[in-house]
Amino acid sequence: MISENKIGRYFKYAIGEIILVVIGILIALSINNWNANRAAQKETFKFLSNLIDDLNNDISSFENSINFNKTRLRGIIYILEHAELNTQRFTEMEWVDISQNDLPNQLWQGPFPDSLDRNFTNLSFLLLGRGFGGVSLNKSVINELYSTGSFSNIQNPNLKTKIGNYYSYLAQRLEGYAIEEHEEWANETTRFFRDQYGIFTLDVSDLEDPIGIIKGKKDAEHHLRYLALEVNYHCVWAQQAKKMALELIQLIKEEQDLLRK
């Protein structure tokens, strides 16, 4: 009986030791997981902060592009008006407001002229063949988020969807083929004016009346109106991208507030 009693106490002691070891292991694992989660949250927070910086740079780039292309679009309409050609807008889409020069503008100071203005005439022809790019997008942060797997650490599914939608929109509207198509028609328009009317759009200062040369010319009207459509598309898309970027910044800040807790 004494022997059996000692054995029973020994088993109880051994079981207690095992339970303590298991509890210790579980606590250690819990602490390790907590530390790992905190480290992942800090890393995600940093990535999101860097992503906000990228988005703010994108917004600045969008604004510069919108400003440039609004001036360019106003110039096209100005040429059409004074060449007594059709200025009717294509009605199936939204058109940007070009009635006011309401943004800081390095191309043209003050209001856009309604009457003929030689300086604005020169600028309007100059801008016909200029590029559509103007949007400088830095994707290093989002690419790192994807490549390191940190994107999966973002817990908010709505935020993840919005990020994906934003960069998909940029790829479809403001990069690659979309820009190339705009560029090609701008180049085609400048070639047309050069070959058909001897107007070198980069500098019309040597021509007494460059607009008068194309007055009433329907082929010139076709090229200008189609180019206006392309420029307007670019402005509308850049405005939408800016709106998406602003909304995304707000969502990111809300996510960061949760990560701080």
For the stretch 22-77, pLDDT in tens is 887 878 777 766 656 666 677 788 888 999 999 999 999 999 888 889 999 999 99
Share of the chain above pLDDT 70, in %: 90
pLDDT digits (tens, 9 = 90+) for 139-188: 888 888 888 877 888 888 999 999 999 999 998 888 877 788 788 889 99
251 pLDDT band (50/70/90 cuts)?
very high
Q: Considering only CA atoms, which of 227, 225, 233, 252 is closest in space to residue 172?
A: 233
155 located within any domain? yes
236 located within any domain? yes
CA distance 130 to 38: 50
Inter-axis angle of helices 2-82 and 140-148, to 10 degrees?
A: 150
CB 53 within 8 A of CB 215: no
Residue 194 has pLDDT above 60, yes or no: yes
34 located within any domain? no
Reported as half-sphere exposure (CB side, CA atoms, 13 A), residue 133 has a value of 4
113 located within any domain? yes
90 located within any domain? yes
Residue 6 has pLDDT above 70, yes or no: no
pLDDT at residue number 20: 78
Per the prediction, the chain carries an average pLDDT of 86
pLDDT at residue number 226: 92
Residue 100 has pLDDT above 80, yes or no: yes
Identity of the amino acid at 93: M
8 located within any domain? no
4 located within any domain? no
Q: How is residue 126 written in tokens?
A: 């100059």
Residue 219 has pLDDT above 80, yes or no: yes
Total H helices, total E strands in the chain? 7, 0
Inter-axis angle of helices 157-173 and 218-260, to 10 degrees?
A: 160
The pTM for the full model equals 0.82
Q: Which domain holds residue 218?
A: 42-260
Nearest-5° Cα angle at 165, 164 to 167: 70
Q: Could you give the 3-state DSSP secondary structure of residue 207?
A: coil
Number of domains in the chain: 1
CA distance 27 to 18: 14
CA distance 232 to 97: 10
Residue 18 has pLDDT above 90, yes or no: no
248 pLDDT band (50/70/90 cuts)?
very high
pLDDT at residue number 1: 43
72 located within any domain? yes
Q: Considering only CA atoms, which of 35, 109, 105 is closest in space to residue 69?
A: 105
pLDDT at residue number 129: 87
